[in-house]
């Protein structure tokens, strides 16, 4: 098997030299599989992520907020689409990828299995969830697989308003009536820990991490990204007068980072295993949209075939 060994060496040499891998290049089967898994999970997260936020489109409290939220949730659909397209360059059809989501085989970010209970949750999701996602996405703009990196560049450009609109919602609520401030603090309390879980297991417990780092699919570890997120977000919370729900949170002069409390990994594993508050609702909603859209997709194809036939006959 010296041939494969050579190919693998060449492949790794390319990666080490910061050259992007393109769809037609030879790649180790595990690299391909790892990428398909990661990109499709990412795509599913965008699409499932439309649901908790879409939940408040009809109840947005002003027309300005309503337009912003519509545009934001629409962007998530676009991001899902870019990512499904990137996955397709690896030889997996969108149909197959989506089937895996609908059957429950594929995973998506567990954060979207939490409910949005108040308007402040829309602020918290934008500020914290998009904030955490952006940390990952900025890193992924430099990922080794070309189509994935290109999709991420586009996504990062579009995402830049998402976190800001969420933070703006929180800032306005925090300066509002006592009821509004309470709503904002309650949302922060509920979304803080799940947001930290978004970065995935600790580096010591992350099954795919070492390989992903070697292949430069990932370029920073879960723990590094999580720490940066905490350092930035604590400051932002202070500015708007909200408190982070972590009694152990403390600035550490020596490390120049915040120390913080323990994540409840049992909760994380439970939600990943399908027992989160909204796992069932999310999958049911996606399946319903897919099933009820079947006749629409068929009709469009049937009409396109008829039109092509007519054109040929003419």
Partner 1 sequence: MSNNPNNWPLWEIFIQSKRGLEHKHVGSLHAADPQMAIENARDVYTRRQEGQSIWVVPAEAISASQPDDAAMLFDPADDKTYRHPTFYTMPEGAKYI
Partner 2 sequence: MSQTNALFTYTLRLADDLLILSHRLGEWCGHGPVLEEDIALTNRALDHIGEARNLLTYAGELEGKGRTEDDLAFLRPERQFLNTKLVEQPNGDYAHTIVRSFLFDAYHLPLAEALLKSSDAQLAAIAGKAVKEAQYHLRHSSDWLIRFGDGTEESHQRAQAALDNLWTFTGDLFTQDEVHQAMVKAGVAPDLAKIKAAFDATVDTVLSEATLNRPTDGFMASGGRQGKHGEQLGFILAEMQYLQRAYPGATW
- 117 binds partner 2, rule: CB under 8 A: no
Burial of 105 (0-12, 13-18, 19+ CB in 10 A): exposed
Stretch that binds partner 2, among 14-22, 168-176, 232-240, 270-278 (CB under 8 A): 168-176
We find the least distance from the C-beta atom of residue 306 to partner 2, in angstroms, to be 6
73 binds, among partner 1, partner 2, none (CB under 5 to 8 A by kind): partner 2
312 binds, among partner 2, partner 1, none (CB under 5 to 8 A by kind): none
User: H-type helices in the chain, by residue range?
Assistant: 2-16, 29-48, 50-54, 63-88, 94-102, 119-124, 130-140, 146-174, 178-197, 209-214, 222-240, 265-270, 279-313
Angle among Cα 157, 206, 214 to the nearest 5 degrees reads 70
Contact 11, 28 (CB under 8 A): yes
Q: With respect to partner 2, which residue has the nearer C-beta, 24 or 64? A: 64
- 176 binds partner 2, rule: CB under 8 A: yes
Residues that bind partner 1 (CB under 8 A): 22, 24-26, 71, 74-75, 78, 81-82, 85, 88, 91, 93-96, 150-151, 154, 158, 297-298, 300-301, 303-304, 307-308
- 311 binds partner 2, rule: CB under 8 A: no
Binding mask of the shown chain, residues 74 to 103, with x at each position contacting partner 2 by CB under 8 A: x--xx-xx--x-------------------
Q: With respect to partner 2, which residue has the nearer C-beta, 227 or 287? A: 287
- 58 binds partner 2, rule: CB under 8 A: yes
Phi first, then psi: give them for residue 103, nearest 5 degrees.
-80, -10
Which of 6, 299, 308, 309 touches partner 2 by CB under 8 A? 299
Q: With respect to partner 1, which residue has the nearer C-beta, 81 or 285? A: 81
CA distance 143 to 152: 9
Pairing type for strands 257-259 and 250-252 reads: antiparallel
Q: With respect to partner 2, which residue has the nearer C-beta, 31 or 112? A: 112
Nearest Cα residue to 49 out of 117, 130, 146? 130
């Amino acid at each position: 098997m010296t041939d494969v060994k050579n190919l693998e060496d060449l492949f790794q040499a390319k990666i080490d030299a910061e050259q992007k891998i393109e769809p037609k290049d030879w790649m180790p089967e595990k690299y391909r599989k790892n990428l398909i898994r990661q990109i499709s999970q990412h795509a599913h997260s965008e699409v499932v992520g439309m649901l908790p936020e879409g939940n408040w489109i009809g109840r947005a409290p002003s027309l300005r907020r309503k337009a912003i939220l519509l545009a934001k949730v629409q962007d998530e659909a676009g991001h899902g689409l870019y990512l499904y397209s990137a996955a397709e360059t690896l030889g997996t059809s969108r149909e197959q990828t989506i089937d895996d989501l609908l059957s429950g085989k594929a995973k998506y970010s567990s954060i979207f299995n939490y409910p949005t209970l108040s308007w402040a949750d829309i602020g918290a999701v934008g500020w914290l969830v998009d904030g955490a996602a952006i940390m990952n996405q900025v890193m992924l703009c430099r990922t080794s697989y070309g189509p994935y990196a290109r999709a991420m560049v586009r996504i990062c450009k579009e995402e830049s308003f998402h976190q800001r609109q969420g933070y703006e919602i929180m800032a306005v609520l925090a300066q509002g009536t006592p009821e509004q401030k309470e709503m904002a603090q309650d949302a922060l309390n509920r979304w803080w820990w799940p947001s930290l879980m978004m970065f995935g297991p600790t580096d010591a417990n992350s099954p795919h991490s070492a390989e992903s780092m070697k292949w430069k699919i990932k370029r920073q570890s879960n723990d590094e990204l999580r720490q940066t997120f905490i350092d930035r977000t604590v400051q932002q919370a202070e500015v708007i007068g909200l408190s982070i729900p972590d009694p152990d949170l403390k600035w550490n002069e020596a490390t120049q980072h915040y120390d913080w409390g323990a994540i409840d990994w049992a909760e994380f594993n439970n939600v990943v295993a399908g027992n989160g508050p909204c796992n069932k609702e999310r999958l049911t909603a996606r399946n319903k949209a897919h099933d009820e859209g079947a006749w629409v997709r068929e009709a469009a194809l049937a009409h396109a075939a008829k039109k092509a036939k007519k054109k040929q006959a003419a």
